[in-house]
Structure 1
Amino acid sequence: MEFSAIVAAAGSGSRSGGPKQWRDLGGRPVLAWSVGALLDAGAAEVVVVVPPGEVKRAEQALADLSGWTAVEGGADRAASVRAGMAALTRHDLPLLVHDAARPLLDRPVIERLLEALADNDAALPALPVPDTLKRAEGARVVSTESREALHRAQTPQAFRPGALQSAYALWEAVEPPTDEARVAEVAGLSVALVPGDPRLMKLTYPEDFAVAEALIAPSSRRRTRIGQGYDVHAFGPGDTVWLCGVAIPHTQTLVGHSDADAGLHALTDALLGALGEGDIGDHFPPSDPQWKGAASDRFLLHAVEMLRARGGEIVNADVTLICERPKVGPHRLAMRQRLAALLGAPLDAVSVKATTSERLGFTGREEGLAAMAVVSIEI
């Protein structure tokens, strides 16, 4: 399900020794962890609310991400969140409001929140309070409080389309709210609790960063995986051949259920293989008429989306085309550019080569064309 999101990053971070949204965590700014998690989970847009004069700094911190905008916040959280809502363009979607200082956000938390909106106006992740609670005056305990039914609220907090805007319009309290769920409660909206995540800790004090670094260490160990693909198509009557997403004029065409782009088919199979997700026929059966004549870039984009959903990225891709004709050389750069665009990879990470079979076999007799592909990913 699509959603819009606001990331509250306008605080001064006085208790942590300075603005924590810009501090490094695991090799990237804290803010980039929070924004990246929302984008990876399917956010249609993310509005980042930063301190006045810090928009450029946000652009630097989020330079490797897209799909976000930054606006300046106000004097308190309420003013900042209102500024974020004013910058939204998709008011027809559920809204998530998240603290930049909670960088270890995981997709399952977001999914639980969105599911809870089916029956509630708002939802927040929370954890039961496990510790005994003591009330004190100075350093002296004066009573022990019941922890029954008490929870530690976390973010992101989710709201049905327009619900938070309406709730803030009714907010008249003197003190600013500590979170958006409080605004919804006062407005009489139904607010659900969903299971939170202990890793979704808020970076408040300097020592919290050491804990967060320890938590991300196992998850930051990425693995390189390699997949290979192979495809063959016969020649038939026609005047155009599709190879690696590029139309090449020719005296024949390639015959297949889709557009018979052997280069894209081989690369799609290579990527699916690296992911351990079967082959192209499992996802796009040739027996299904909806794929008849389909552009093969749809198949590759499907595999790329599966990779992105798992937090992976392309390291490099190498395609070899085996044919006597058409000549690939004049079209090689266009092919590389098209594959780089489809894969979301830099041009120097994509290679397209061509060879012949020295007039041997079906390719040598120009009865058909073959393609091989190898792709490496980090995941």
Structure 2
Amino acid sequence: MSFSAVIVAAGGGSRAGAGPAKQWRLVTGRPVVRWSVEAFLAAGATEVLVVIPAGAEAELTGALSGLEGWRAVSGGASRAASVQAGLAASNASDETPVLIHDAARPFLTRDHIHTLLEALKNAEGAAPALPVADTLKRRDGDAVTTTSRDGLWRVQTPQAFRRSILVDAYAAWRAPADPTDDCAVVEAAGGRIALTAGDPMLMKLTYPEDFAMAERLAGGARITRIGQGFDAHRWGPGEEVWLCGVAITHDETLIGHSDADAGLHALTDALLGAIGEGDIGDHFPPTDPKWKGASSDRFLIHAAELIAAKGGRIINIDVTLICERPKIKPHRAAMRERLATLLDLPLDRVSVKATTTEGMGFTGRGEGLAAQAVATVETPL
């Protein structure tokens, strides 16, 4: 069944504490609003309208970088006004189902969406809901009384309606206060609402502590990836060598298009390999003159940024330098500290080691230096 989606992301999120509005904040490296847009697109939405504050187009474009099939709509002064703005911008026909969703509920799934669409076949609206499990208290001044929870439900989003039914219901709304959700509008117009099984994962991010909980919940759907890298450079005339981001005074230097930091090159390839993004040459071709003499720090940071863009994080790294000279041990602490700084890792997650080949091979003969690296990365499924 084809359907449209309106994601309401026009609020300021003042209760979420200091920082960006909650729709732009990150959960496991992904902006909150992106979670829902991706879910609707994956479920087959024919259009996704994201209702945002006026002037927030740049924030939305950045948050949804790389995604297609969505459009931005400027919202209103209230949630109800923003929903109506999204409906007005929709290209859906009158009978097309439209799902209205709060951007602050990021853990939307295909199953949630399809269950609502099925329920809508026999009702004017459908919404996921959870029965109230906690004892309810009402406070009136100093008096506190218990209220029965029988028949009470906590309604979530998305909420599904045929477009014309919701548009007409909003046009007929005459209550003095704005509705707290869209089902209330359709109910007031005489429509029947079907309640589908709610999901605790459809929690609404409202307070600062909700974001910490969301990080923990999202962490359950993650996988660990391992990448490895290898690099080698020949020795040539020079006075210093760069290894793992540290300059070491030496009577030779490593020859390469960039600064020839074999340690950083191997580590960059390990990070890229962990997320299936090719190798360093794909991103920084040695035939491109703009990378001649470039600091390899830039290559490593680029790989780390790609991991973060996928919602991932680096767990630990391990670099082994293979050479007869220079002696690595006096510089190993500085190398570890430099790598920890570049990748924003605790020092105990960064390892730098060195070994020789007992005079064998090109490293043993002093013709060059080699490096190998292993990186462990965690990303969403």
The TM tier, using the shorter chain, reads 0.5 to 0.7
The answer to which of 50-59 and 143-152 deviates more is 50-59
Instruction: Please show how residues 299-314 of structure 1 align to structure 2 within 5 Å.
Output: none
User: Which position in structure 2 is the counterpart of 1:9?
Assistant: 9
Deviation readout 1:188-232 (Å, 9 max, x if unpaired): 1111100011110000100000111111101132779xxxxxxxx
- In 1, Cα distance between the equivalents of 2:120 and 2:103? 23
Q: Secondary structure of 2:48's partner?
A: strand
Say whether the 8 Å CA contact 1:10–1:73 is kept in structure 2.
yes
Q: Report the Cα offset of residue 137 of structure 1.
A: 2.8
User: Which position in structure 1 is the counterpart of 2:138?
Assistant: 135
- In 1, Cα distance between the equivalents of 2:149 and 2:224? 40
Give TM-score scaled by structure 1 length. Answer: 0.58
Say whether the 8 Å CA contact 2:8–2:101 is kept in structure 1.
yes
Give TM-score scaled by structure 2 length. Answer: 0.58
- In 1, Cα distance between the equivalents of 2:11 and 2:277? 40
User: Which position in structure 2 is the counterpart of 1:178?
Assistant: 180
- In 2, Cα distance between the equivalents of 1:151 and 1:223? 41
Instruction: Please show how residues 1-379 of structure 1 align to structure 2 within 5 Å.
Output: 1-17=1-17, 19-91=21-93, 92-138=95-141, 140-221=142-223
Give RMSD over aligned pairs. 1.9
Inter-CA distance 160–223: structure 2 relative to 1 (3 Å threshold):
farther
Deviation readout 1:94-128 (Å, 9 max, x if unpaired): 00000000001111111111010111010000000
Rg larger for: 2
Q: Report the Cα offset of residue 141 of structure 1.
A: 4.6
- In 2, Cα distance between the equivalents of 1:8 and 1:222? 33
Q: Secondary structure of 2:84's partner?
A: helix
User: Which position in structure 1 is the counterpart of 2:236?
Assistant: none
Unaligned runs of 5+ residues in structure 2 are 227-274, 279-379
Q: Secondary structure of 2:223's partner?
A: coil
Unaligned runs of 5+ residues in structure 1 are 225-313, 318-377
Say whether the 8 Å CA contact 2:87–2:163 is kept in structure 1.
no
Say whether the 8 Å CA contact 2:4–2:45 is kept in structure 1.
yes
- In 2, Cα distance between the equivalents of 1:221 and 1:69? 31
What letter is aligned with 2:113?
I
What letter is aligned with 1:150?
L
Q: Report the Cα offset of residue 34 of structure 1.
A: 1.3
- In 2, Cα distance between the equivalents of 1:79 and 1:104? 24
Deviation readout 1:53-105 (Å, 9 max, x if unpaired): 11221111111211000011011011111110111012242000000000011
User: Which position in structure 2 is the counterpart of 1:346?
Assistant: none
Say whether the 8 Å CA contact 1:134–1:141 is kept in structure 2.
no
What letter is aligned with 1:88?
S
Inter-CA distance 167–223: structure 2 relative to 1 (3 Å threshold):
farther
Say whether the 8 Å CA contact 1:9–1:49 is kept in structure 2.
yes
- In 2, Cα distance between the equivalents of 1:11 and 1:97? 15
What letter is aligned with 2:214?
A
- In 2, Cα distance between the equivalents of 1:155 and 1:110? 10
How many matched pairs?
229
